Chain A
Amino acid sequence: MELFIQLTLTGLTNGAILALAALGFVLIYKASDVINFAQGEFLLIGGYVVYGMVAQFGLAWPLGMLITIAIAIGLGAVVERLVLRPLIGEPIISVIMVTIGLSSLLKAIVSTIWGNQPKAFPPFIPSTPVNIMGATIGADRLWAIVIAIVMLGLFTFFFRRSKEGIAMRAVADDQQAALSMGISVKKIFAWAWSIAAISASIGGALVANIVGVSQELSHFGLRVFPVVILGGLDSIPGAIVGGIIIGLLETYTGGYVGHGLNQVAPFAILILILMVRPYGLFGQEIIERV
């Protein structure tokens, strides 16, 4: 039983962070149909920037976090402006290729500034063990869950209730109609990329806090794929639920079955679910009126 709770909590942590990374991915896909292969690098940058702020400049972590978010907004806007806007009207596949290039570029920038050696992260959230129903878990992991849930809640609220959020979903539905009501599609794309960068870099900071910073962080980006395909590429709730399912699945198989299988299990389940629901658990079915 302790093992179960232990695994559940660990899985939830991973899942919540995965969900944050997946959220940005879904958002970009939803707004512009682009599959962003650089999402993992956004995580990487988030982790390293927080590292730079907290460990190298010695800032208090809330301040470091705020600066990281500001940098993420800037990064998203710059990427949209310099890389994607010139590609408006080009085939989607070109844009997707460009994001692959972007991922190499971002990785290179990080290793130029911080080098290739993994670095221990001065945990800004203490990892004092907490005892929950017999299982022990680091406080940092609990905090990661809390922060991720709060962020996901804020994003959900933003998309459901705020005018900008609704406009963003409108653009995802029909760009030209959105344009005809005065919604600036360019601005919305910039927003989408910025929010994607924010959520990924917060995710990155949370991972970094637990395992330290290294280039490995960007591999988190790959693990986002089963999450988004499972949840539905264009569904925000799907990203959240998908993230948690994959997170739990990985730790359960890792804990109960054994080594290595935890890497495979998510993909096996993924195939099963796609057989039943080809557009993902929450993906939008194409609305057809008969």
Chain B
Amino acid sequence: MLSLNNIEVIYNDVILVLKGMSMEVPEGKIVGLLGSNGAGKSTTLKAISGLLKPEDGEVTDGGIVFKGEKIHHMDASDIVRKGIFQVMEGRRVFEHLTTEENLIAGGYTRSDGAQARADIEMVYEYFPRLKDRRHQTAGYLSGGEQQMLAIGRALMAKPQLMMLDEPSLGLAPLLVQEIFEIIKRINQEQGTTILLVEQNANLTLGVADYAYIMESGRIVLDGYPDDLRANADVREFYLGLTEVGSRKSYREVKHYKRRKRWLS
């Protein structure tokens, strides 16, 4: 459905952030994109959704193809109309608007007014808590509620591909669980393809159908969640596990010598 071929992204004409990044997102699946801070995960999403321009970034090489159409030179608003919706990192709700107004803004690109209003109810079914808060100013919602609102806004646009940028950021573990379950439900019930960017490797591998691991601007590993879980490097660097049973000790000098094999 979506494929990135060897894309290169440069900020401010000098800073090379993505260095030949490639990945595939098949229709109807949940694809995870993992990586540490500064790996280029958010940049990848922005390159897809056309949000690089306001930050002075540019796709300088390679191509992004969505349903057979090149989209890497399109405006953000056209890309949303094509059916790609990015839920930005850090929730970014419209603070001075009410919950319901936020949802209406989410459905901005739709032309079917009556159906869009009905879909507000659908969002409330996924997130009953938002219904209680429908006339409240969004800036005063709790962090979890704001994240729900951010996802609800995306649902309002009826996207074919929903991209979530760190939905777990700053939330309590229980809430994160809840939100991941809803993401899974959205994927199953609405048939929305999902590209999930996360730092929380464990949870992501739990819901994803396929996952990529990114480091300094390119994909270094990819595979089915079960295979990745079994990979010794992934276990150590992303899941914080060592060989079964043994606790990690910093006394083992060996640890410092060990490097991620793909970095050499």
- Mask for B121-162, Cβ within 8 A of A = 1, else 0? 000000000000000010110110000000001000100000
A residues adjacent to B (C-beta < 8 A)? 89, 163, 166-167, 169-170, 172-184, 284, 287, 289
Q: Which residue of A lies closest to B86 (CB)?
A: A180
Distance to closest chain A CB from B161 (angstroms): 13
Among all A-B residue pairs, the 6 with the closest Cβ atoms:
A182-B80, A287-B139, A177-B92, A182-B109, A173-B94, A170-B105
Contact B77 A176 (CB under 8 A): no
Q: Indicate whether A181 sits within 8 Å of B97 (C-beta atoms), given known contacts A163-B108, A170-B105, A289-B140.
A: no
10 examples of A-B residue contacts, CB within 8 angstroms: A163-B113, A170-B105, A173-B96, A175-B54, A176-B92, A179-B76, A181-B105, A181-B153, A182-B108, A284-B96
- Mask for B63-88, Cβ within 8 A of A = 1, else 0? 00000000000011101110001111
Q: Which residue of B lies closest to A30 (CB)?
A: B96
Q: Which residue of B lies closest to A284 (CB)?
A: B96
B95 CB-CB contact with A under 8 Å = yes
Given A166-B101, A182-B109, 9 extra CB contacts under 8 A: A163-B107, A173-B94, A173-B97, A178-B94, A179-B76, A180-B86, A182-B157, A183-B77, A287-B96
B104 CB-CB contact with A under 8 Å = yes
Contact B49 A180 (CB under 8 A): yes
Tell me the complex Cα distance, A173–B92, Å. Answer: 9
Tell me the complex Cα distance, A179–B53, Å. Answer: 11
Q: Which residues of B contact A166 (CB under 8 A)?
A: 97, 101, 104-105
Q: Indicate whether A170 sits within 8 Å of B49 (C-beta atoms), given known contacts A180-B88, A181-B85, A183-B108.
A: no
B residues adjacent to A (C-beta < 8 A)? 49, 51, 54, 56, 75-77, 79-81, 85-88, 92-97, 101-102, 104-109, 113, 137, 139-140, 142-143, 153, 157
Q: Which residues of A contact B77 (CB under 8 A)?
A: 179, 182-184
Tell me the complex Cα distance, A167–B153, Å. Answer: 13
A-side interface mostly: helix
- A163, A181, A287: the one contacting B157 at CB < 8 Å is A181
Contact A181 B108 (CB under 8 A): yes
Q: Indicate whether A177 sits within 8 Å of B88 (C-beta atoms), given known contacts A167-B105, A182-B76, A183-B108.
A: yes
Q: Which residues of A contact B153 (CB under 8 A)?
A: 181
Tell me the complex Cα distance, A182–B159, Å. Answer: 11
Distance to closest chain B CB from A217 (angstroms): 33
Contact A181 B80 (CB under 8 A): yes
Q: Which residues of B contact A182 (CB under 8 A)?
A: 76-77, 79-81, 108-109, 157
Contact A177 B76 (CB under 8 A): no
Distance to closest chain A CB from B110 (angstroms): 9
Q: Which residues of B contact A163 (CB under 8 A)?
A: 104, 107-108, 113
Contact B54 A179 (CB under 8 A): yes
Contact A169 B101 (CB under 8 A): yes
Distance to closest chain B CB from A190 (angstroms): 14
Q: Which residues of A contact B75 (CB under 8 A)?
A: 184
Distance to closest chain A CB from B250 (angstroms): 36
Contact A173 B95 (CB under 8 A): yes
Q: Which residues of A contact B93 (CB under 8 A)?
A: 177
Tell me the complex Cα distance, A169–B96, Å. Answer: 8
Contact A287 B80 (CB under 8 A): no
Q: Which residues of B contact A172 (CB under 8 A)?
A: 96
Distance to closest chain B CB from A108 (angstroms): 35
Tell me the complex Cα distance, A180–B81, Å. Answer: 11
Q: Which residues of A contact B76 (CB under 8 A)?
A: 179-180, 182
Q: Indicate whether A176 sits within 8 Å of B51 (C-beta atoms), given known contacts A163-B104, A287-B139.
A: yes
Q: Which residues of B contact A287 (CB under 8 A)?
A: 95-96, 137, 139-140
Contact A178 B95 (CB under 8 A): no
Tell me the complex Cα distance, A254–B56, Å. Answer: 54
Contact B108 A167 (CB under 8 A): yes
Q: Which residues of A contact B106 (CB under 8 A)?
A: 181
Contact A289 B105 (CB under 8 A): no
Tell me the complex Cα distance, A177–B54, Å. Answer: 11
Distance to closest chain B CB from A86 (angstroms): 15
Tell me the complex Cα distance, A89–B53, Å. Answer: 11
Q: Which residue of B lies closest to A179 (CB)?
A: B76
Tell me the complex Cα distance, A170–B92, Å. Answer: 11
Distance to closest chain B CB from A238 (angstroms): 13
Distance to closest chain A CB from B239 (angstroms): 31
Q: Which residues of A contact B56 (CB under 8 A)?
A: 89
Distance to closest chain B CB from A49 (angstroms): 33
Distance to closest chain B CB from A194 (angstroms): 19
Q: Indicate whether A183 sits within 8 Å of B105 (C-beta atoms), given known contacts A177-B88, A287-B139.
A: yes
Distance to closest chain B CB from A192 (angstroms): 16
Tell me the complex Cα distance, A287–B157, Å. Answer: 27
Q: Which residues of A contact B81 (CB under 8 A)?
A: 182
Tell me the complex Cα distance, A101–B139, Å. Answer: 37
Q: Which residues of B contact A184 (CB under 8 A)?
A: 75, 77
Q: Which residues of A contact B104 (CB under 8 A)?
A: 163, 166
Contact B109 A181 (CB under 8 A): yes
